[in-house]
């Protein structure tokens, strides 16, 4: 026992007074007590931070694309900064308590939720990669809820309408500003990511046998082939011809800076709701109203293209081959707009809500079920009058009046009731027929369950 005590004290002192993992401590103790013979030729196993460096180098050696590799490098360094602040930790130390320490550290740095969750995710990915390589047997980091849950609050998803894009096209610009505007229009007219619309060459364009001009490109990110007609927007071909069908050479950083000033010059300055979520043990939400041009960036092009085509009457099945989206859900952003909510139809004090979130929420499901179970119309009307209401066509501030419309959503809501439509013999099936109309973005039962909205 005295020898064991001596060995433990020696290991503790030699490891800088306890800066050692439990596994490494056990291995050293086995070596000193003779339980495990020392193999001087055996390659030492990497610790967590050595493994992170080695793993990133291995990813690069195996051909991982630069943009895919970048988050591992960036957040790997961030994890190392956390260790420098908190104190050294090893594979066996990564558990839900360490997760809380990391969340608190990220919170102190006012890190946005998406970025902080990426750090948590990358840490867990490194842990899992190391476990599969038999570098540790720790599973205490596994389980649901590792990342901080995002709150439902969402802001306005910025798009530029055809009329706003027309304003950009008509601006007289020169030099770098002209290149930034034109590159942005090329992106907004073809619906691709910056990584694709910034690298067009004449080889990406051709005419069909019917004479339709097309863009043909394989996405750099997803490797999905896409084809886009060039005659949807009248300004696209003239813009491409200026550069002989080459994309103007401009970095994403310069584009993002320039396009904000250009949109400000074009008068694209409507006030929109901006919602930001920050790290914390529970997500922290900050809301503000900002000028639209401040939120416009390179990715606005792709969102604008998909939304504008949807509003023009294109079906999702037609848009998907152009944008390379894998599912229709990825494209249903036409409902992802800000509208106003009121405590009841009598209220005149608006509160901003996201229409898509509102339509898919089950917050009032119990009241709606109770309402539909009541046969007496008077009682139903009383309950309906207490339910919240929204203005589908737009957002208002400070009160609900025509002159206080802040922004039109581009949508109209129509109620269809059985009363007055007795000639419709299959009224319950009407919803299915409504979905066949290209310009219908959503159809659902009314609060009473008898009509459609």
Per-residue confidence (pLDDT) for residue 205, from 0 to 100: 94
Cα angle, residue 168 at apex, residues 159 and 174 outer, rounded to 5°: 135
Is residue 279 within 8 A of residue 265, CB to CB? The reply is no
Q: How many helices (H) and strands (E) does the chain have?
A: 17, 10
**How far apart are the C-alpha atoms of 39 and 21, rounded to whole Å?**
20
Q: Tens place of pLDDT for every residue, the chain, 453 residues? A: 566 776 677 776 666 566 667 777 777 777 777 665 444 445 678 999 999 999 999 999 988 888 788 999 999 999 999 999 999 899 999 999 999 999 999 999 999 999 999 999 999 999 999 999 999 999 998 888 899 998 877 777 788 999 999 999 999 999 999 999 999 999 999 999 999 999 999 999 999 888 899 999 998 887 888 999 999 999 999 999 999 999 999 999 999 999 999 999 999 998 888 889 999 999 999 989 999 999 999 999 999 998 888 888 787 778 888 887 655 545 555 667 788 888 887 888 888 888 877 776 777 778 888 878 887 888 878 888 888 888 888 887 778 887 777 777 778 888 888 888 877 766 666 766 665 565 676 777 787 777 877
Rg over CA atoms, the chain: 29
User: Is the overall model pTM greater than 0.75, yes or no?
Assistant: no
Task: Say which residues have a Cβ less than 8 Å from residue 49's Cβ, sequence separation at least 6.
Answer: 79, 80, 83
Per-residue confidence (pLDDT) for residue 39, from 0 to 100: 47
| E-state strands within 212-306 | 213-218, 225-229, 271-278, 284-291
DSSP string, 396-417: ESSSSSGGGEEEE-S-----B-
Q: What architecture is domain 45-144?
A: Orthogonal Bundle (1.10)
Per-residue confidence (pLDDT) for residue 449, from 0 to 100: 78
Element of type H or E holding 313: none
Give per-residue burial for 65-79: e unless 16+ CB within 10 Å, then b. eeeeeeebbebbebb
Cα angle, residue 317 at apex, residues 312 and 320 outer, rounded to 5°: 90
**How far apart are the C-alpha atoms of 70 and 439, rounded to whole Å?**
41
Is residue 231 within 8 A of residue 212, CB to CB? The reply is yes
Per-residue confidence (pLDDT) for residue 371, from 0 to 100: 79
Per-residue confidence (pLDDT) for residue 354, from 0 to 100: 81
Could you give the 3-state DSSP secondary structure of residue 449? coil
Question: DSSP letter at 137?
Answer: -
Domains of the chain, by residue range, sit at 1-43, 45-144, 162-331, 338-413
Per-residue confidence (pLDDT) for residue 154, from 0 to 100: 72
Per-residue confidence (pLDDT) for residue 17, from 0 to 100: 60
Assign domain 162-331 to its CATH superfamily.
Intergrase catalytic core (1.10.443.10)
3-state helix, strand, coil in the chain (%, to 5): 45, 10, 40
């Amino acid at each position: 026992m005295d020898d064991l005590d001596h060995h433990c004290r020696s290991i503790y002192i030699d490891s800088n007074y306890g800066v050692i993992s439990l596994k490494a401590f056990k291995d050293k103790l086995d070596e000193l007590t003779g339980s495990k013979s020392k193999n001087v030729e055996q390659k030492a196993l990497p610790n967590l931070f050595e493994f992170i460096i080695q793993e990133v180098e291995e990813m690069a050696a195996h051909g991982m694309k630069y943009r895919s590799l970048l988050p591992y490098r960036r957040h790997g360094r961030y994890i190392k900064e956390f260790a420098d602040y908190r104190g050294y930790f090893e594979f066996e130390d990564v558990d839900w308590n360490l997760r809380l320490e990391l969340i608190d550290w990220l919170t102190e740095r006012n890190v946005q939720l998406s970025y902080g969750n990426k750090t948590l995710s990358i840490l867990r990915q490194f842990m899992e990669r190391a476990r599969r390589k038999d570098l540790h047997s720790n599973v205490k980091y596994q389980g649901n809820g590792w990342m901080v849950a995002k709150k439902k609050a969402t802001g306005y998803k910025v798009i530029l309408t055809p009329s706003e894009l027309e304003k950009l096209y008509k601006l007289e610009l020169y030099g770098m500003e002209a290149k930034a505007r034109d590159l942005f229009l090329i992106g907004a007219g073809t619906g691709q990511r910056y990584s694709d619309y910034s690298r067009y060459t004449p080889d990406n364009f051709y005419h069909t046998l019917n004479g339709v001009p097309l863009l043909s490109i394989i996405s750099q990110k997803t490797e999905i082939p896409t084809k886009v007609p060039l005659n949807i927007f009248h300004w696209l071909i003239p813009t491409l011809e200026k550069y002989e069908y080459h994309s103007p050479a401009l970095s994403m950083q310069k584009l993002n800076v320039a396009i904000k000033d250009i949109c400000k010059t074009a008068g694209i300055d409507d006030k929109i709701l901006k919602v930001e979520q920050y790290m914390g043990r529970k997500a922290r939400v900050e809301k503000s109203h900002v000028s639209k041009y401040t939120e416009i960036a390179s990715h606005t092009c792709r969102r604008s293209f998909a939304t504008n085509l949807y509003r023009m009457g294109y079906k999702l099945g037609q848009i998907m081959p152009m944008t390379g989206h894998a599912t229709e859900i990825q494209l249903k952003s036409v409902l992802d707009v800000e509208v106003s909510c009121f405590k009841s139809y009598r209220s005149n004090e608006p509160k901003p809500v996201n229409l898509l979130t509102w339509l898919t929420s089950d917050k009032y499901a119990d009241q709606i079920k109770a309402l539909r179970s009541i046969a007496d119309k008077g009682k139903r009307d009383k309950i309906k009058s207490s339910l919240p209401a929204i203005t589908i066509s737009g957002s208002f501030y400070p009160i609900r009046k025509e002159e206080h419309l802040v922004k039109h959503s581009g949508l109209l809501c129509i109620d269809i009731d059985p009363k007055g439509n007795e000639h419709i013999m299959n009224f319950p099936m009407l919803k299915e027929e409504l979905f066949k109309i290209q310009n219908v973005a959503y159809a659902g039962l009314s609060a009473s369950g008898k009509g459609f909205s």
